[in-house]
Structure 1
Amino acid sequence: MKIAILTQPLHTNYGGNLQNFALQKVLKDMGQEPVTIDRHPSIKLRTKLKIGYFKRLVVHYLKGAPKPKARDYFSASKNKTDRKHVLRFIETYINKTPRLYSDKAVQKAFVKNKFYALIVGSDQCWRPMYSPNIKTYFFDFIENDQSIKKLAYAASFGTSEWEFDEQQTKMAQRLIKQFDAVSVREKQAVELVKDKLNVEASFVLDPTLLLDKEDYLTLINAHQPPLPTKQGVYTYVLDTGGWKGKIINQVAKSLNSEVFNNQPKATIENPSDNPDDYVIPSIEGWIKGFIDADFVVTDSFHGTVFSILFNKPFVSLLNSDRGASRFYSILSELGLENRLVTKYDYNQINALLNQELDWQKANEKLIQLKQSSKVFLEKRLC
């Protein structure tokens, strides 16, 4: 049966693309035919985002940084070149519609494809500030269509705080009643759905955790040319800051290891005259970083997830602006909550470096959660 998936726009985010890849693979393994609705912001919203990006360039320049060339950031061909590895992954491994920039385009896609079911999830698809149109993620465009099964799988608010305004809350309360079943990615989200939307929700795993590490090794083995092997402290830090740098330095010094990553060499804050420095490395290379790592330092939810999947010693640096509850939820479920760090503390980091992780206990719990999460999907798609 043809199953539609509605998630955050497929762009450059490693975790965002991999959670969609993972959910599609799980559905394929169940004998379904998944198709991702490739919803993107409207032209109006994209223009607003570009203006905000340009303001960041100006502010950075006024602070004394080298002046980057604005045309490099706004050129469509430049953007496509920078994303070439990510685009290849999406085109190779994710079955999707063409890009859709409006609710009307989404409606047309549903008329054309005649989907059996629609699943919203995962990522922070229920976080208003991140979604192109939050109503879309509560299925307003098929509100009166009772022929389609409607599910939320591992939908996430990203935070334990309620960020919907009054109008959005009323909208969500009305639309969520049409869902056949609701599941969320954080334990705190179970309570939010009950308290704010008056609906019961189940707790399930992020889709990336439903796959085995061998599934990700298959991606790496298929990559051409073969990816190089590295070793040392692997970092995936989205928001650099003074205290995070101190932790990375302490870990590297204590382990007498080199630091490596899988991120662009140049950014808006760290410009370069070499266009190749802005190219985003491959998703497969990002995964392989976890395999090769002796230790991982990350402030990313999916960076934390892949550290767990490959049983690598790690510290997660709390990134509250991007959503803290998702970190607390998965780490507490697996008995790893002490790996979460909120500030630089030499003694705390030193203790974590010397701590043996109980991977057997964590893996056993993960297997249980994986089974119950898959059962949720199987039962609701019957």
Structure 2
Amino acid sequence: MPKIGILTFVNTLNYGAALQCHALYEYLNGMGFDVEVIDYNNKEIEGAYRLPSPQDIHSVKEFVTFPFRYMLRKKWKKNFNQYDTAMKSFHVKSISEINGRYDAVIVGSDQVWNLRLTGDDWSYYLSGVKNTKKISYAASFGNTNFSKKQIEKINQLLSTFNALSLREQQGVEFCESLGYSATQVLDPTLLQNTRFWAQQEKSIAHPERYVLVYAVGLKDKVLQEARKIAASIDAKIVYINSPYEGAMPIKGVKNVYALDPRQFVYLFMRASFVVTSSFHGVCFSLIGKKNFKAIIHSGVDNTNSRIVSLVENLGISHVLDLSSNETINYVDVDSKMKEKRCASQKFIQENI
């Protein structure tokens, strides 16, 4: 039985990161492989999710909210640490420690190749890893605004990979510009169908009819659109607070804090409508077959490509247009999704 290692972001308080890792692990496990998640901690990622300390207090507001923020972060950590404890893992301090352990290492998904996000951590490009098959699955660069020196190193490290797949078309085109063949595949959360995710839920109290809001950036714009839609369909608003935000509740909505990832799935599956600025918010809107609006940044230097690429491929670009009232035809979307899921699964089957 081939032994497979998954290298992605771990020990985060990020719903998308946790759920995509779980999805890929379960898919590979279901194929009969001996699977481990490589427990490698990136300092930048780890630092973003540490417990707040008194040194972080720089204002009266931060002083007043500190106890609540500390309690919340601690609860978030507990819920994420308890999620998916059945996954096997192998802890390393240096990525070179995996040499000789695996028949293949899969890098991805998530923005593992975003050097700004990781603080120029080349471990996710498997620098120094030898004697194993190297595969990327739905890896993301975030954006491709690299320096000349970074591109030279990326080029050299990608040459050591046996197969490349990217989450966004922009990433595929970047690899092709360096002379590599690359395939666009689905995010791991979309490798699994709605039935799979319905078995991953954990209940939480909610209004009977609600617009679900999950914002990673652009909070004001997301809330403005959510309030407009909630008024038009006579629904409440449920707001999923993220660890990136402060502790102050938003007025006029149901604020939910420190969700277990399974509760995150549960709320998406039962929403009447979703408004989100998150890529995985889009993914779980699709999984739950929800009508939704995706709010994206304006400008070039951003990570919009992951959302834009997905909705364009599914023929639902109207979800980006806030003036559009067009609903999603899930018969058509499901047909396209099935085709792309089969192609993504084929990439894995042919390259491991």
Shift of 1:32: 0.7
Contact 1:135 / 1:171 at 8 angstroms: preserved in 2? no
What is the correspondence of 1:278-317 to structure 2 with a 5 Å cutoff?
A: 280-317=258-295
Q: Which residue of 1 aligns with 2:11?
A: 10
Q: Which moved more, 1:355-364 or 1:114-123?
A: 355-364
1:362 partner amino acid: V
Distance in 1 between the 2:133 and 2:62 partners?
A: 53
User: What's the C-alpha RMSD, in Å, of the aligned pairs?
Assistant: 3.1
What is the correspondence of 1:232-271 to structure 2 with a 5 Å cutoff?
A: 232-263=210-241, 267-268=245-246, 270=248
Shift of 1:339: 0.3
Contact 1:57 / 1:68 at 8 angstroms: preserved in 2? no
Q: Which residue of 2 aligns with 1:340?
A: 320
Distance in 2 between the 1:309 and 1:116 partners?
A: 32
1:328 matches 2:308: yes
User: Given the superposition, is the C-alpha separation of residues 322 and 49 from structure 1 closer, same or farther in structure 2, using an over 3 Å criterion?
Assistant: farther
Contact 1:37 / 1:96 at 8 angstroms: preserved in 2? yes
Contact 1:40 / 1:132 at 8 angstroms: preserved in 2? no
Distance in 2 between the 1:217 and 1:5 partners?
A: 24
Shift of 1:175: 1.1
1:96 partner amino acid: S
| TM-score (norm: length of structure 1) | 0.81
Q: From the two aligned structures, give the one with the greater helix fraction.
A: 1
Cα distance per residue 1:151-191 (max 9 Å; x no partner): 011111123xx232232211111111111110101111111
What is the correspondence of 1:352-363 to structure 2 with a 5 Å cutoff?
A: 352=325, 355-363=326-334
Structure 1: give runs of 5+ residues left out of the alignment: none
Distance in 1 between the 2:10 and 2:49 partners?
A: 14
Q: Which residue of 1 aligns with 2:85?
A: 91
Shift of 1:80: 4.0
Shift of 1:69: 6.2
What is the correspondence of 1:1-382 to structure 2 with a 5 Å cutoff?
A: 1-42=2-43, 57-58=57-58, 61=59, 65=61, 67-68=63-64, 79-92=73-86, 94-98=87-91, 100=92, 102-103=93-94, 106-111=95-100, 114-131=101-118, 133-142=120-129, 145=130, 147-159=131-143, 162-195=144-177, 197-220=178-201, 223=202, 226-228=203-205, 230=207, 231-263=209-241, 267-268=245-246, 270=248, 280-319=258-297, 323-341=303-321, 348=323, 351-352=324-325, 355-381=326-352
User: Given the superposition, is the C-alpha separation of residues 56 and 278 from structure 1 closer, same or farther in structure 2, using an over 3 Å criterion?
Assistant: farther
Shift of 1:52: 11
Shift of 1:360: 0.9
1:41 partner amino acid: N
Distance in 1 between the 2:275 and 2:45 partners?
A: 34
| TM-score (norm: length of structure 2) | 0.87
1:303 partner amino acid: G
Cα distance per residue 1:35-79 (max 9 Å; x no partner): 11122124x996799799988752xx2xx6352465876x7x985
Between the two proteins, what is the percent identity of the paired residues?
A: 25
Contact 1:266 / 1:278 at 8 angstroms: preserved in 2? no
Shift of 1:207: 0.7
